[in-house]
Amino acid sequence: DSGVTQTPKHLITATGQRVTLRCSPRSGDLSVYWYQQSLDQGLQFLIQYYNGEERAKGNILERFSAQQFPDLHSELNLSSLELGDSALYFCASSSLAGATPTPQETQYFGPGTRLLVL
Amino acid sequence: QKEVEQDPGPLSVPEGAIVSLNCTYSNSAFQYFMWYRQYSRKGPELLMYTYSSGNKEDGRFTAQVDKSSKYISLFIRDSQPSDSATYLCAMSVWAGGTSYGKLTFGQGTILTVHP
């Protein structure tokens, strides 16, 4: 168990809808990262927050947004959903803001939320 | 062309075999190299890492980096059925006193070790 929790585990919804995925980082971790994993694209970085502020941005669609709250949990909002948004969405956390494999910057991944858009 | 290329396999080997997993990359700015292991229906977990050319050994696992060729490998000796998982290479950038939070992953190689 990595200590990162994600809810819900599974989500089934229809095209055009909006969903919110939730992530609670490991105790004490200030950084939260969101990744999308699909069969064709693999595991892709979406966005990172550090202590409430956006720190780095990847190939995140404009229909997607995220935020990190004062208690450090994070939410990823996906709107106007399309069939191609069906994927596994992972949250990861680390103590600091970087992405080196030092103990403070190692990213610990949650179990993921499996999203199916019908 | 993707920044990181990894053969997705699948790779099937008998128990006890030596497994070789590989990635190539195109971005010279990558300085940290990691291998993550992902079991079915779980999140990836960090298995090994290195940030210099050469070999790093940890038990049955050896990570190898050749920066001149932009090529990294993971070797698993005496493979076990419990090693059956997807193995993802990942890389990150260090730039002048700060590092960025983005990990760039390979596609992942599905490995099955059969008894």
For residue A4, the distance in angstroms to the closest alpha carbon of chain B comes to 10
pLDDT tens per residue across span A37-82: 998 888 999 999 999 999 888 889 999 999 999 999 999 999 999 9
Q: Please name the member of B44, B46, B101 whose beta carbon is closest to the beta carbon of A56.
A: B101
Q: Does A106 touch chain B (CB under 8 A)?
A: yes
pLDDT tens per residue across span B69-79: 999 999 999 99
Q: Please name the member of B41, B42, B101 whose beta carbon is closest to the beta carbon of A99.
A: B101
Q: Cβ-count burial of B84 within 10 angstroms (0-12 exposed, 13-18 middle, 19+ buried)?
A: middle
The mean pLDDT of chain B is 90
pLDDT tens per residue across span B7-25: 888 999 999 999 999 999 9
What residues of A are in contact with residue B41 (Cβ under 8 Å)? 111-112
Mutate: best of B102, B104, B109, partner A, most A CBs <10 A: B102
DSSP B28: T
Asked if the Cβ–Cβ distance from A2 to B102 is below 8 Å, we say no
φ/ψ of residue B44, rounded to 5: -65, 145
Q: Which of residues 39-98 of B touch A (CB under 8 A)?
A: 41-46, 49, 51, 88, 92-94, 98
The amino acid at A26: R
The confidence score (pLDDT) of residue A39 equals 86
Q: Does A5 touch chain B (CB under 8 A)?
A: no
- For residues A52 and A68, the answer to whether their CB atoms sit within 8 Å is yes
Asked if the Cβ–Cβ distance from A106 to B46 is below 8 Å, we say yes
Helix, coil or strand: residue B19 = strand
**For residue B109, how far is the Cα from the chain centroid?**
9
Of B68, B69, B56, B63, the C-alpha closest to B89 is: B63
The confidence score (pLDDT) of residue B17 equals 97
What residues of B are in contact with residue A94 (Cβ under 8 Å)? 101
Asked if the Cβ–Cβ distance from A56 to B43 is below 8 Å, we say no
Q: Does A26 touch chain B (CB under 8 A)?
A: no
The confidence score (pLDDT) of residue B102 equals 83
- For residues B47 and B35, the answer to whether their CB atoms sit within 8 Å is yes
